[in-house]
Amino acid sequence: MTAAAYALVNLAAVKHNIGKIRDYAPQAKIMAVIKANAYGHGLLRIAEVLQGVDAIAVARADEGIRLRLSGFSIRIVILEGFVCKQELEDLIKYDLDVVVHSVGQVDIIENYWGQKKLTVWLKLDTGMNRLGFKSTEFTPIYKRLMACSSVKQPFFLMTHLSSADDPHSAVTRQQVNLFKDTVKTYPGEKSIANSAGIIAWDDSLTDWVRPGVMLYGVSPFSNSVGKDFGLKPVMSLHSRLIAIKNIGAGEVVGYAGTWVSNQQTRLGVVAIGYGDGFPRSAQTGTPVLVNGKRVPLVGRVSMDMITVDLSSQMNAKAGDPVTLWGEGLEVEEIARYSDTIPYTLLCGITQRVEIKKV
Ligand SMILES: *Cc1c(COP(=O)(O)O)cnc(C)c1O
């Protein structure tokens, strides 16, 4: 039996998108970002089609260990690093590269005397104010790590852009310049760009690029879709109609009765809801494809169901196919109707949704 709600993941599209990333940054090595279960697409499934890239990045040690235990020998970078000695030892044991962003981590590394060396990505905070060292702290930290016999030399240098999705942001220019000024006399390969940097900020293309959302065919910008940049969407989300009913004018639909019919209406009930990861914030009017044609969502999204206005599809019946995003309906568009970003929609697909490769 197949699940009512399922997602299709198109692995050929991932390969296509990697090709596009190479076109944007032909000189750079690619660190493919597959944190958060590969943005909801399935960690191992996506890792399998990334054999051609130079490294993989995940947020946490457990994600990296899972990849190693599944037999992946590619370079794996743990973006959040570690917080204690035990975690550092696990990372070294599994040959995972670590992002070093705090003094506490440097203290722990200085007290590690194991045989096996650690690969470090030293992170500079150029304005995000999340992880990393300020440029003023950089030189002493660099020297401390240089003096560690347990750290492979020269180590990598990186920063993260906070506003690259705004093509007019002065902040991005400042971040790129600050990073380049701070690291320019130091050896070690350098990395700045996320997807938005790769597409919109040529200056951010250095030795390594770190694409995330564009791998999955999705635009990092709020006013465009992946196709505008030659990308192919990887995930589509599907379900089916489970009931049809006719309601009179003036009837209310769904929790809190937020939608009122102004005429006789043919309603469809679709087996998808926030329990599957379809956003509760999707407003009335959000497009849904029933039998490949657009109809509007009406009323509140519930845990397991949504309701749609089928007045334009008098022949639709229970069992008919429904697409929530995919071919003909971009996830970027659903994000706009739901006052969110496509990242949260992709990551938010829940366990109940069966993911199938195509
Ligand atoms: C998530 C992440 C990326 C990828 O970002 P996208 O916007 O999805 O391309 C790159 N670098 C770091 C440090 C990240 O945390």
Structure confidence by residue, pLDDT tens digits, 42-68:
999 999 999 889 999 999 999 999 999
Helices (H), 70-210: 85-93, 103-110, 135-146, 170-183, 195-200
Q: Counting atoms of ligand 1 from 1, which one is nearest the CA of 214?
A: 9
Position of tokens 């076109």? Answer: 23
- For ligand 1, whether the C-beta of 212 sits within 6 Å is yes
Position of tokens 């051609």? Answer: 52
DSSP-assigned letter for residue 207: S
Minimal-distance CA residue to ligand 1 atom 4? 212
Q: Are 125 and 133 in contact (CB under 8 A)?
A: yes
Ligand 1 geometric centre to CA of 250 (Å)? 48
- For ligand 1, whether the C-beta of 273 sits within 6 Å is no
Catalytic residue among 20, 35, 123, 190: 35
Minimal-distance CA residue to ligand 1 atom 15? 79
CA distance 46 to 35: 11
Q: Counting atoms of ligand 1 from 1, which one is nearest the CA of 211?
A: 9
Task: Tell me whether residue 112 is one of the annotated catalytic residues.
Answer: no
277 — pLDDT class (breaks 50, 70, 90): very high
Best of 18, 79, 100 for a ligand 1 pocket test (most atoms within 8 Å of beta carbon):
79
pTM higher than the cut 0.85: yes
186 — pLDDT class (breaks 50, 70, 90): very high
Ligand 1 geometric centre to CA of 220 (Å)? 10
- For ligand 1, whether the C-beta of 231 sits within 6 Å is no
Mean pLDDT of 270-299: 98
As given in the structure block, the two tokens for residue 158 are 């990186």
Ligand 1 geometric centre to CA of 193 (Å)? 8
259-260 and 252-253: which strand pairing? antiparallel
Q: What is the DSSP string of 118-140?
A: B-EEEEE-SS--SSSB-HHHHHH
Q: Are 98 and 118 in contact (CB under 8 A)?
A: yes
Q: Counting atoms of ligand 1 from 1, which one is nearest the CA of 165?
A: 7
Fold of 235-357: Lyase, Ornithine Decarboxylase; Chain A, domain 1 (2.40.37)
Q: What is the DSSP string of 240-302?
A: EEEEEEEE-TT-EESGGG-EE-SS-EEEEEES--TTTT--TTPPTT-EEEETTEEEEEES---
Residue 1: the pLDDT is 61
CA distance 48 to 11: 9
Task: Tell me whether residue 35 is one of the annotated catalytic residues.
Answer: yes
Q: Are 101 and 124 in contact (CB under 8 A)?
A: no
Please enumerate in sequence order all residues whose Cβ is within 8 A of that of 73, keeping only pairs 6 or more positions apart, or say none. Answer: none
As a residue count, the chain comes to 358
Mean pLDDT of 215-242: 98
293-298 and 306-309: which strand pairing? antiparallel
Residue 348: the pLDDT is 97
Q: What element of type H or E holds 237?
A: strand 235-247
CATH 1.10.150.120 fits 11-222, yes or no: no
Q: Counting atoms of ligand 1 from 1, which one is nearest the CA of 213?
A: 8
Q: pLDDT tens digits for 286-320?
A: 999 999 999 999 999 999 999 999 999 999 999 99
Share of the chain above pLDDT 90, in %: 97
235-357 and 11-222 share a CATH fold: no
Domain ranges of the chain: 11-222, 235-357
Q: Are 331 and 226 in contact (CB under 8 A)?
A: no
Q: Are 337 and 254 in contact (CB under 8 A)?
A: no
What is the average pLDDT value for the chain, to the nearest integer? 97
Please determine, for residue 106, whether its predicted confidence score (pLDDT) is greater than 70: yes
Mean pLDDT of 170-192: 97
